[in-house]
A and B are shown apart, each in its own frame.
Chain A
Amino acid sequence: MPFVGEILRHRSVSIVGLAKNAGKTECLNYIIRRLPVDYFNVAVTSIGIDGETTDQVTGTAKPEITVREGMFFATSEKHFRQKRPLSELYDVSEEDTALGRTVTAKALQEGKVLLSGPSSASALKRWMSSLKVFGIDLILIDGALSRLSTASPAVSEAMVLSTGAAYSANIRELVSRTAFVVELIRLPVYAGPEPSLRVSSFSSLDAGVLKGHRVIEVEGALTDRLLQMAKNGLGDGELELVVGDFTKIFCSQELYRAFLRRGGLISVRMKSELIAVCVNPVAPNGIVLDSDILCSELSQKIGLPVYDIVKNEYEV
């Protein structure tokens, strides 16, 4: 039963997909089926609306989340009223979204639910802290499509990454792009003296501003523009950029590599732990990659085990 033991060591874990149909929901269901819910109080939610019965973009079937008896879940009023197993209501949030308030309930029987939890990372954090009174041991978060913000260490301690043919249909490119994300997740935590300069992507910058600084704190997003500026200023020595966490990095792999090649360094203030990488070799347009080759190449590249949970259906 790969990596489920690892999950139990954390209080909050996000499951994040690099693309729609990258297998995130299967991954979450896989984890839920294997959790020892008799001993652990588990709560599950998603960020925003990501629990539709069919994928709105491609029309392919999108499995719902199956909650087990005794598990807590949070979803919107609208989806709670639509479909759920018999469940006991524990809380109704104050915050209102397009789908209504967030309802927290405990499933009294196993059944399928549509998850549409708090709509922003900050609302999600508030929901997570409101759970304390219910004695929850583990919170699982279904991260929304291409919103890595749920995986921010400011929200959840650890993460499971799912990637697949939907992200790229070419094994080499898929491996390279996924490995890049993994590399960012694993950036070291900064441990030097206080940076002498703070900049943000909104600052009006020219190369002169950065001159003479060896360590620069980046507030908010690290964009291509900012990184390009830093790269240009590299000529006369070392430069380290300190970013909040990996979810704040929005720059191209090419530029990132060029910056490192010229001696630049990037570190983070907070780091989340990457527990596992899952792959879905099937893309919604019908392309099927060779699961074994994909797993082994990606695993080799990132030095972490990679799982195709659908094909291998590891024992429960």
Chain B
Amino acid sequence: MKFREIVESPCGIRYLFDELELQSGYARKVLLDREMMTDPVRIDEAYASLRGYYGMVLEDRRRVEDMRFRLQGLRDISGTLASLAEGSVLDEIEFFEIKHMAMLAETLPVGSDMENVIGILDPDGLKIGTFYLYDSYSPELRRLRSETDDNPDDAGLQDELANEEERIKKLLSDKLRPYAVSLQKTLRELADLDISLAQAVQMHVEGLVIPSSGKEAAITGMFHPGVRAVLKAKGREFQPVDFAFRSGVPATVIGANMGGKTVALKTLCMIQYLYQFGFALPVGSAVMTPFDEIRFCIGDEQSEKTGLSSFAAEMQRIDSAIAAVEQGGRVLVLVDEPARTTNPVEGTALVAALLERLADRHNLALIMTTHYTVEHAGECWRVSGLLPGTKGRKMDYRLVRTTSHEVPHEALNIARELGIDSRWIELADTIIKRKYE
């Protein structure tokens, strides 16, 4: 799974990607092409490196900004380097690109052999990042140039000059070829540096935290950066939420409408992706564990607009998640209110059956939000809900473990808080009392 494939995920990871201040288009491309990590050792290595850059952001911001400014000069010259490796004769533009990158790497803590490369492309030792076929490459070149200057219309001289220039281009290409591999490595390192510095700065700006890896996931104080930004613009605060989950024990999340169940699920999904791509997390603290696959099943606006097909799209998403579990890899499945668009009788049955279908799978961590009351052997979390006695839309969004799987009946209270037509709501209240009490 590449970063490119999850950047538009409905979990909203796009927000952090957009806010990530990469200095070069090439680093952006490299990041989008990165593969998701599934080995905790590799993830921890990536975090160790990020921790180092974060320290630099805190202690020496000027150096960081200086490095980032330089990285604006990073260009994607992978095509040029591939031609070099293949044995092509390069032209001036390509020599310029290589020299430019080598000189950039020289000023940054990356790259090897760049001194030799620069030596080839800077014969006069000028130490400036520009390039042309310098006269000093051959006395013949110097002579021919000076002669064509005096006789600009001599076609024979023009040809001789062109041949000599061609000879020098070939010579330079041959001299550079042994460095093709280290040039490619350096290019990659420059992009990685750009990404790491951007991540470290983002960690500082957004208040993100590096997690540790463990057997079970335990998260405190998680928040959704995108939603937090929207709330902040309205002068409101995001209430951080705690959560824990582990493979083999399905978890359901129940609670009032507008209680933040879906946002919590999106946040969990985003955090898992961020962890496996080596980003710091929007949490107070976290222990995380990697999965081979992450499946997020949520109705998106597109399918909701197409009416009938939303149910079909949802069922297919869950179906494919079940198939992934059957494959045997470690899978995290996050499902937002399955079967919510159908009638409560069949809906409840589908949800209960899904939990049973996926029970006792030790390779599966399942987290599901629902409005239906279903009994299961796993864990149940409940949104704290409307604070008792408070007025003016005061919701406690925290998730608490509960033993009762009975979904809370708070929809009417919330509708009252919203100021919805009171005769309608009170009638609903009467109907409920008549039926259940």
Interface residues of A (CB under 8 A from B): 77, 80-81, 86-90, 92, 94, 103, 106, 108-109
Contact = CB atoms under 8 A, between A and B. Distances in A.
B25 to A, nearest CB: 5
Interface in B25-68: 25
Contacts of A106: 130
A86 B165 CA distance: 11
B145 interface: yes
Nearest to B75: A94
Contacts of B91: 81
A103 B97 CA distance: 11
B149 interface: yes
A92 B75 CA distance: 9
A92 B130 CA distance: 11
B75 to A, nearest CB: 6
Given A88-B132, A109-B149, 7 more contacts: A77-B93, A86-B145, A88-B131, A89-B131, A92-B96, A94-B25, A108-B132
B92 interface: yes
A87 to B, nearest CB: 6
Contact of A89 (B24, B76, B92): B92
A86 B161 CA distance: 11
Contacts of A77: 93
A128 to B, nearest CB: 16
B25 A81 contact: no
Interface of B: 24-25, 75-76, 91-93, 96-97, 100, 130-132, 145, 149
Given A77-B93, A94-B75, A88 B25 contact: no
Nearest to B74: A94
A80 B149 CA distance: 20
A257 B390 CA distance: 66
A81 B94 CA distance: 11
Majority DSSP secondary structure for residues of A touching B = strand
Contacts of A90: 130
Contact of A87 (B75, B97, B132, B149): B132
A92 B145 contact: no
A89 B93 contact: yes
Contacts of A80: 93
Contacts of B132: 86-89, 108
Contacts of B76: 94
B70 to A, nearest CB: 12
Given A88-B132, A89-B130, A108-B132, A81 B75 contact: no
B93 A88 contact: no
A148 B135 CA distance: 42
Contacts of A109: 149
A206 B145 CA distance: 69
A272 B311 CA distance: 58
Contacts of A92: 75, 93, 96-97, 100
A158 to B, nearest CB: 29
A86 B164 CA distance: 14
Given A88-B130, A89-B130, A81 B93 contact: yes
Contacts of A94: 24-25, 75-76
Contacts of B25: 94
A153 B77 CA distance: 35
Nearest to B77: A92
A30 B78 CA distance: 42
A80 B75 CA distance: 19
Nearest to A95: B25
B152 to A, nearest CB: 9
B100 to A, nearest CB: 8
Contacts of A108: 132
A88 B130 CA distance: 6
B168 to A, nearest CB: 13
B426 to A, nearest CB: 43
A261 B132 CA distance: 61
Contacts of B93: 77, 80-81, 89, 92, 103
B57 to A, nearest CB: 25
